Structure 1
């Protein structure tokens, strides 16, 4: 029952008690009417008085990770001469979905202060689950009370606790990716270069075979073993990654965290983390309604943090077709660079996308494709049983792409650590 209805009902009882006492003149009815009147007055003014001379602050982290629990500390202090009791602390935390107190649809109940003596302070911790990535505005934190009868509620909002809070995608560890080295990064990593891509690194010794280049004979070992030994070489280099995130509105299927866009963002962040851990260059490109998200090539922790900051706040509301995004990449990609594809667009654009991928291959780029099963992400949808036989998937294989197929509910860590 709402506070307003409770107040109206008690008011009607009070009027009825006064009407009965006037008509009958009995002292008991006058006493009942007086008690009801006192209850109404008390329920109106006491909650407001309880909130006077109180201050409240909320302190806590400014960053969190999806599915992680963060802890905020709330402190309430009584600056008055008299004690306060039955006070509630409320706050605006838009990234959680919990029961909301009456009269404050945008605010969540953090806790209760049952009794607070004069000049004292009380503090408590509030664990909060970070449900979904994004940039949120928290606060202001406030106080409410409906003591003693719950007939009226007083609320006082402060200027404390207003801050920005960033929730980052939940990154999963990747142990290895099927990548090839880039000629521009030769001798800087452990990935094989394509055949004929350039110089090679020494990898070991073996016995001489007919036709081996005499210049590769290792004479000190040959003299020691009394047998011809030659040096073996492998073309090794570091990989370069260009992560292309499709944030077009019609490419996003599903709701909340179980949408193709959220899966794609989480995968993009995890692959960027893999590049950082292996000292690889990586860059990122996406198109949203607010403009182009472009992060230049770089490596290291700071570069990775820039990618995380960007992916934490992007929205899947763009209008740019993925093929157009890939053509932008083709204008600037390096030979041997690996393009990370996150494919979830409608089937009607698959031909244009394959043409753009063919252009990337002519530029010497490698393809690592993550293909989302759109049917599994649709509301009430079921996984497609024929996606491996799809013409688009066959086109990816013809272009030499390494592929991963992702469906709703898949364990991403298992899918990328085969």
Structure 2
């Protein structure tokens, strides 16, 4: 790593931590008071001609008393979070915190605040992830990449909010339940390990941040989902191994064809209890094989530099399909490649779509393209799939060849391409065409594009 980037990263990181330290202890009113103090000091220097020195003395007294008061405040608190199982990007998440005063004195007029995990990027991310449009900045900004640092800080911030809405009073030895609200900004897992009590001074200028003793918690944040129109995917129902025996939901039920001896793995609900009682041996009802559709949901997680925002939209599109396809009457296989090929199936006796959303919450972008590995994975399930929906973060010749290889095998395909601009994507599609239906999803207008399905 170049020494210059190491110096920049270290400087920006220290500056961000110092800024966070100050901003968490000085309120908006405090900043206004400090600004007025400086202004009064500059304009009221000549005490013979101006009376502003009196205003300076008053503000100075307020600031000094406020700082001293906030610094002397104490609170010894413990808390326990009661979190929901999941949250969703961009949607309010409410949860309850039970806070207890373990000190000998009452804790009066304080707020609770959940501090997000440190959003400062690691050195490798800072050096390797350019800001979108960075090439259009001037030479000075491209050299010191401060705007890249600010963009990464904003991008890495896990949530906003997380502060109680009203001042709390808690007598010694007592406990109280408080509701906090936050809005997740990124999918993944939020680690909660920094709950603070904000203890303000009487003037509301400064506040002390006291750490609250609370066990570490985590919350899974699911990807943002879009609304989809009623889906009519191509392809016919296929025979699925296991038939009715693997299904524990409603759907296309096989007809009853007779009785047979019990085999390990048979469902308890198929046992014929009367015949078991007569023969003394377990007997089960046998059904004919069933046919139902099985769809593939292929996620392209091989991301070009600077296309991280397109990948996040692609994950949201995949999540939208995961919750919109009726898995009570079909099977859905999510496929992508990380260190190895990964397939997550949902529907008809298998995992619920919720499991698929949890997997999408954790999927990461891969810098090295492995489309051939992804193609082999999809071809492995070719005989079982009725149709396949492929979600791409951008378009290229390699992605077009991926689609053509699958289409040559006779697979029903629909390609969804998340792009920066529709004009650029159409130009690339004209250069690298594919023999299947293509839907362009322009960044910032994904919902409109999905409604054309």
Using the size of structure 1 for normalisation, the TM-score is: 0.61
Question: Counterparts of 2:213 and 2:168 in 1: how far apart (Å)?
Answer: 23
Question: Counterparts of 2:175 and 2:410 in 1: how far apart (Å)?
Answer: 67
Partner of 1:176: 231
SS in 2 for 1:51: coil
Check conservation: 1:50, 1:85, Cα contact below 8 A: no
Check conservation: 1:247, 1:261, Cα contact below 8 A: yes
SS in 1 for 2:340: strand
Partner of 1:338: 387
Residues 329 and 79 (structure 1 numbering): CA distance in 2 closer, same or farther, change over 3 Å?
closer
Map 1:14-413 to 2 at 5 A: 44=68, 47=70, 50-94=73-117, 109-111=163-165, 113=167, 115-148=169-202, 154-160=208-214, 162-171=216-225, 172-184=227-239, 238-250=292-304, 253=307, 259-277=309-327, 279-288=329-338, 291-292=339-340, 294-300=342-348, 302-334=351-383, 337-347=386-396, 350=397, 352-372=398-418, 374-376=419-421, 383-384=422-423, 387=426, 390-392=429-431, 395-396=433-434, 399=435, 401-412=436-447
Question: Counterparts of 2:318 and 2:413 in 1: how far apart (Å)?
Answer: 14
Q: How far apart are residue 312 of structure 1 and its match?
A: 0.8
Gaps of 5+ in 1: 9-31, 97-105, 189-235, 377-382
Q: How far apart are residue 250 of structure 1 and its match?
A: 0.5
Check conservation: 2:81, 2:217, Cα contact below 8 A: no
SS in 2 for 1:384: helix
SS in 2 for 1:329: helix
SS in 2 for 1:244: strand
Q: How far apart are residue 297 of structure 1 and its match?
A: 4.2
Question: Counterparts of 2:161 and 2:324 in 1: how far apart (Å)?
Answer: 39
Check conservation: 2:161, 2:182, Cα contact below 8 A: no
Residues 294 and 40 (structure 1 numbering): CA distance in 2 closer, same or farther, change over 3 Å?
same
SS in 2 for 1:243: strand
Deviations 1:5-54 (A, max 9, x none): 99x9xxxxxxxxxxxxxxxxxxxxxxx9xxx8xx979955x657643443
Give the structure with the larger strand fraction.
1
Deviations 1:112-146 (A, max 9, x none): 53544445444432222233322111233122325
Partner of 2:136: none
Question: Counterparts of 2:112 and 2:238 in 1: how far apart (Å)?
Answer: 60
Deviations 1:238-291 (A, max 9, x none): 33222221111307626xxxx321221122122223334452222222234xx2
Question: Counterparts of 1:42 and 1:266 in 2: how far apart (Å)?
Answer: 47
Residues 47 and 296 (structure 1 numbering): CA distance in 2 closer, same or farther, change over 3 Å?
closer
Partner of 2:137: none
Check conservation: 1:64, 1:130, Cα contact below 8 A: yes
Number of equivalenced pairs: 323
Q: How far apart are residue 319 of structure 1 and its match?
A: 1.4
Q: How far apart are residue 332 of structure 1 and its match?
A: 4.4
Check conservation: 2:327, 2:347, Cα contact below 8 A: no
Note the aligned Cα RMSD (angstroms).
Answer: 4.6
Q: Which has the larger radius of gyration?
A: 1
Gaps of 5+ in 2: 1-21, 35-56, 120-159, 244-289
